[in-house]
Structure 1
Amino acid sequence: DPVVFETAGGRVGGTICEDIWLPGPAAQAAEAGAQLLVNLNASPYHTGKGEQRLMALRRRVRECHIPIIYVNLLGGQDELVFDGGSMVVGADGALVQRAPFFVEGLYPVDFTVSATGVEPETGEVAVESGLEEGIYQALVLGVRDYVQKNGFPGAVLGLSGGIDSALTLAIAVDALGAERVEAVLMPSRYTAEMSNTDAEQEARALGVKYHIMPIEPAFQVFLEILQPVLAGLPVNSTEENIQARCRGVLLMAISNKTGKLVLTTGNKSETAVGYSTLYGDMAGGFAPIKDVLKTMVYRLAVWRNQQSPVIPQRVIDRPPSAELRPEQTDQDSLPPYDLLDTILHGYVEQDRSVDELVEAGFDRDIVERVAQLVILNEYKRRQAAPGVRITPRAFGRDRRYPMTSGFRR
């Protein structure tokens, strides 16, 4: 039954969360005599969500013909971020007041009460953030609240001189402050000197404490220990993964001693196709950019530099590389990221089939290869750290596939 309260200012109907997304509850409250509707929400952020909420409110107003106050939660909860943006929509569907996004506050709403009903007075309407700014704010809030609410004294991450770790470091500092963030540079025999230079420049620009801990001694010891078992076998990704796992051991040791949370730096493109090492670069407690496609990582880096330059331009311009073997680039193993991300957006986020993507103009061999990589690497994603959700279809809670399936080829 509809809930309607008698107040000195008129009759107020109450609804909760999903009531505003579905036809029925708002109209029923109006039929029960409500002159104003208040909707209490815990609506999580994803790209485009602000406009979706406003459209939903306008649909309900057309049904009930009374003003609606939409009150939304603000803060991070595990992988979800609630972005605020509470608002008031008049009986005519006009947006008459909206609180800022990603800012906690108390925002009074004034109404005129008359014999004909209750009308909200026009107030300040906060402008919704642009795409890159909104995503960045969500990532910062998600990291801040995960660290704060779980009692970690700070965060530590590996800083490689690449774009992903550079962006993750900036997010961590903006979320927690430089004094609570620690960076570790862990070069190997394959690390380019420019990577070391750029990583140090990033750490200094953001004012964080950093350590340089070469992994070559540990890598060499592992190779020697394994030599009797692996002798005569060809070099393959095993040697690359050992390097990544050496780095994971160092970061986790620092975390164990200091209590700081290890932030992993993998993006959604890598997570989708398994371009990562279990117990290596995937080792950690929270993954800030795990739902951010690689092409968006670059856009976020550019946006962050527009606020203050903290990521060297060379990091943005140079071809991405894991630097686990000589002259390596990501495109040795993957399609170009602009192509890969477009396919992943269709296959993962829009749930389009291989045939549908081929009909849209993509090469069948490439689409089938990407789809198979996504399917085969479900087992890795099951072991990945949680991270901020910014899209309508994130891996994990939004896209659940079996690890053992007949989808394999």
Structure 2
Amino acid sequence: MSHRPGTSDTSGTSGRFRLTLAQLNATVGDIKGNIAQVRAAWAEARDAGADMLALPEMFATGYNTQDLVMKPVFHQEAIAAIHALAADCADGPAIAIGGPALEGAELFNAYYVLQGGTVTARVLKHHLPNETVFDEMRLYGSAPVAGPYTVGPVRIGSPICEDAWHEDVAETLAETGAQILLVPNGSPYYRGKMETRQTIMVSRVVETGLPLVYLNLVGGQDDQVFDGGSFVLNPAGGLAVQMPVFETGLAHVDFIQGPEGWRAEAGVLAHIPDQMEQDYHAMVLSLRDYMRKTGFKKVLLGLSGGIDSAIVAVIAADALGAGNVRCVMLPSEYTSQASLDDAQAVAEALGCAYDFVPIDKGRAAITETLAPLFAGHAEDLTEENIQSRLRGLLLMAMSNKFGEMLLTTGNKSEVAVGYSTIYGDMNGGYNPIKDLYKTRVFEMCRWRNATHRAWMMGPEGEVIAPRIIDKPPSAELREDQKDSDSLPDYPVLDAILQILVDGDGSIDDCVKAGFSREDAARVEHLIYISEYKRFQSAPGTRLSKHAFWLDRRYPIANRWRDGAAG
């Protein structure tokens, strides 16, 4: 996608400066592939008469690299690739690109400026984020704040991502002569992130009186999704350019120098969708990129006739195309006819392959094998879990045989309280709905039935029948089983979880919100005793600041409980 606010060739003209923003999708570790994207964008920027091409934070290596960047042979290769890029792109626009840098023996998160065949400037990150998914203090040194660099007629200051969330770096750059702030970012999505970013960046603009360019990555990386949404603010805080969210593209932005300094000409203002659509797009993009970046082409999943597996099937079809999705029904004697019909209906509505693999013979064989050991013991949860683990075994066998990655389908409510079977329905390589509470799953299904976008590869229209959404949730592992037999109703459970997990609150906070102390204490207990399951669970799309994995790191062996002795 290309946005061109102006059409004239402005290269080298005093008083005008054309900056090409490259909102692209880097792959961690694919240094050659990332640099190839830069070369293609540079050629397009050159043809558009740009003075400079800007890439996001750590684009050369991909982001977030975690400890990979500390491996000497890796960061040395990335640094060499940046210098080679400078030499190969000597005749044309300058390039600004994020990558690792060495200063003495210390490693830094850096922003390189390439002009005339060489590296003419190197900005080193000052503020290192060390919260939620970030561990940059583990990886990099903190550098002193440096001054601006010059490209053509403009002095540019580049606070690197976190540096722009604090006042001091931007103010120092303004005081030392910066005329435009260009902020390269590797800023992952969470619900409401765009509003937070724009509010903070407007503050930087108001404080400095300078125009600001916020340039962000796009794409999925493990659990994180970089949502793009790059934008340009003018000195008064007005929005001059807005790039789309979750989409790659270039934007050619013209800056004009007037009596009061530089100002961006008005460009395209892309529509920013609501939070429901952003969440759904994040899940689709994260699965699509996880598959592409790990080398898988197709997926399979167990389709139970319930709402969770249904929405995962739809997400998979939207991410990969229905022809790359295999749905498998694995019924037992407890599987209702309604579930059989509903599972088949979802697969047919999507146009996915559908396999029917009953587990009764396998279950009978396992029961017979264990009978001498289990003699004298009443049936209990063990026999229920055997069904789930048998399904997991069969699905993994299909995954191995067909080379298709197994998706797991547990929502955040289930993941939080351990309402799942380890080595059973938790089997799988990725879980798109891992950070989506059950009540939001219901909402998401209704939204997807009513909504279709060009980036969805699945069919439009009603893909999940209303009866699937409306029926009482059940694992169907015993006669007349309902989720509500084991858990509070989902509106209650999710509200308590949002207090305890997302709000990091207490049982007293739950009581003050109107929930019973008994329910809150029970949910808290389930959260803690399920930590070992989450530790072994598949990664999944991060939609909030309190997703299970890097955002929330708790010990597995933990005797503490709120309001009770350890």
Total equivalences in the alignment: 409
TM-score by length of 1: 0.98
2:549 maps to: 396
Answer yes or no: is 1:268 the counterpart of 2:416: no
Where 1:302 maps in the other structure, the secondary structure is: helix
Q: How does 1:48-87 map to 2 (within 5 A)?
A: 48-87=192-231
Structure 1 runs, 4 residues or longer, greater than 3 Å off? none
**Counterparts of 2:159 and 2:370, CA distance in 1:** 63
Answer yes or no: is 1:370 the counterpart of 2:523: yes
Q: Give the counterpart letter for 2:497 in structure 1.
A: L
**Shift in Å at residue 127 of structure 1?**
2.6
- Identify which range, 122-131 or 308-317, moves more after superposition: 122-131
**Shift in Å at residue 80 of structure 1?**
0.3
Answer yes or no: is 1:236 the counterpart of 2:389: no
Q: Deviations over 1:299-324 (max 9, x none)?
A: 11111101221011110010000000
- Whether the 8 Å CA contact 2:300–2:325 is kept in 1: the answer is yes
Where 1:219 maps in the other structure, the secondary structure is: helix
2:26 maps to: none
- Identify which range, 226-235 or 37-46, moves more after superposition: 226-235
Answer yes or no: is 1:183 the counterpart of 2:351: no
**Counterparts of 1:202 and 1:287, CA distance in 2:** 19
Where 1:326 maps in the other structure, the secondary structure is: coil
- Identify which range, 362-371 or 116-125, moves more after superposition: 116-125
**Counterparts of 2:164 and 2:331, CA distance in 1:** 53
Where 1:356 maps in the other structure, the secondary structure is: helix
Answer yes or no: is 1:322 the counterpart of 2:466: no
Q: Give the counterpart letter for 1:313 in structure 2.
A: P
**Given the alignment, which residue of 273, 281, 291 partners 1:137?**
281
**Counterparts of 1:325 and 1:360, CA distance in 2:** 34
1:220 maps to: 364
Where 2:215 maps in the other structure, the secondary structure is: strand
- Identify which range, 70-79 or 222-231, moves more after superposition: 222-231
**Shift in Å at residue 5 of structure 1?**
2.1
Q: Deviations over 1:266-311 (max 9, x none)?
A: 0100000010000000011111111110011111111110122101
Q: How does 1:281-292 map to 2 (within 5 A)?
A: 281-292=425-436
**Given the alignment, which residue of 146, 153, 174 partners 2:290?**
146
Where 2:539 maps in the other structure, the secondary structure is: coil
Q: Give the counterpart letter for 1:320 in structure 2.
A: P
Where 2:150 maps in the other structure, the secondary structure is: strand
**Shift in Å at residue 406 of structure 1?**
2.1
Answer yes or no: is 1:334 the counterpart of 2:487: yes
**Shift in Å at residue 218 of structure 1?**
0.7
Answer yes or no: is 1:24 the counterpart of 2:168: yes
- Whether the 8 Å CA contact 2:147–2:172 is kept in 1: the answer is no
Answer yes or no: is 1:115 the counterpart of 2:259: yes
Answer yes or no: is 1:245 the counterpart of 2:392: no
**Counterparts of 2:199 and 2:297, CA distance in 1:** 41
**Given the alignment, which residue of 250, 259, 263 partners 1:106?**
250
Q: Give the counterpart letter for 1:118 in structure 2.
A: W
**Shift in Å at residue 220 of structure 1?**
1.1
**Counterparts of 1:241 and 1:89, CA distance in 2:** 56
**Shift in Å at residue 96 of structure 1?**
2.0
- Identify which range, 11-20 or 37-46, moves more after superposition: 11-20
**Shift in Å at residue 123 of structure 1?**
1.8
Q: Structure 1: any 5+ residue segments left out of the alignment?
A: none
**Counterparts of 1:6 and 1:382, CA distance in 2:** 48
- Identify which range, 228-237 or 141-150, moves more after superposition: 228-237
**Given the alignment, which residue of 87, 91, 94 partners 2:235?**
91
**Counterparts of 1:6 and 1:249, CA distance in 2:** 60
Q: Structure 2: any 5+ residue segments left out of the alignment?
A: 1-144, 452-460
Q: Deviations over 1:151-195 (max 9, x none)?
A: 012111000000000000000010011111111111110001011
**Counterparts of 2:276 and 2:330, CA distance in 1:** 30
Answer yes or no: is 1:313 the counterpart of 2:466: yes
1:405 maps to: 558
2:402 maps to: 258
- Whether the 8 Å CA contact 1:10–1:113 is kept in 2: the answer is no
**Given the alignment, which residue of 355, 367, 379 partners 2:532?**
379
**Shift in Å at residue 112 of structure 1?**
1.5
Q: How does 1:6-21 map to 2 (within 5 A)?
A: 6-21=150-165
Answer yes or no: is 1:192 the counterpart of 2:322: no
**Counterparts of 2:178 and 2:339, CA distance in 1:** 63
- The alignment's C-alpha RMSD in Å is 1.1
- Whether the 8 Å CA contact 2:416–2:530 is kept in 1: the answer is yes
**Shift in Å at residue 12 of structure 1?**
1.3
- Whether the 8 Å CA contact 2:254–2:265 is kept in 1: the answer is yes
**Counterparts of 1:217 and 1:3, CA distance in 2:** 72
- Identify which range, 230-239 or 184-193, moves more after superposition: 230-239
**Given the alignment, which residue of 316, 336, 349 partners 1:172?**
316
- Whether the 8 Å CA contact 1:9–1:113 is kept in 2: the answer is no
**Counterparts of 1:113 and 1:9, CA distance in 2:** 9
Aligned-residue sequence identity (percent) comes to: 49
Larger Rg: 2
- Whether the 8 Å CA contact 2:312–2:409 is kept in 1: the answer is yes
- Identify which range, 303-312 or 162-171, moves more after superposition: 303-312
- Whether the 8 Å CA contact 1:266–1:289 is kept in 2: the answer is yes
Alpha carbons of 1:110 and 1:356: their partners in 2 closer, same or farther (altered >3 Å)?
same
**Shift in Å at residue 124 of structure 1?**
2.1
Q: Deviations over 1:323-377 (max 9, x none)?
A: 0001111000000101100110111001011112212222111101101110111
**Counterparts of 1:283 and 1:42, CA distance in 2:** 31
- Identify which range, 377-386 or 119-128, moves more after superposition: 119-128
- Whether the 8 Å CA contact 1:3–1:15 is kept in 2: the answer is no
- Whether the 8 Å CA contact 2:475–2:482 is kept in 1: the answer is yes
TM-score by length of 2: 0.71
2:92 maps to: none
Where 1:391 maps in the other structure, the secondary structure is: coil
1:354 maps to: 507
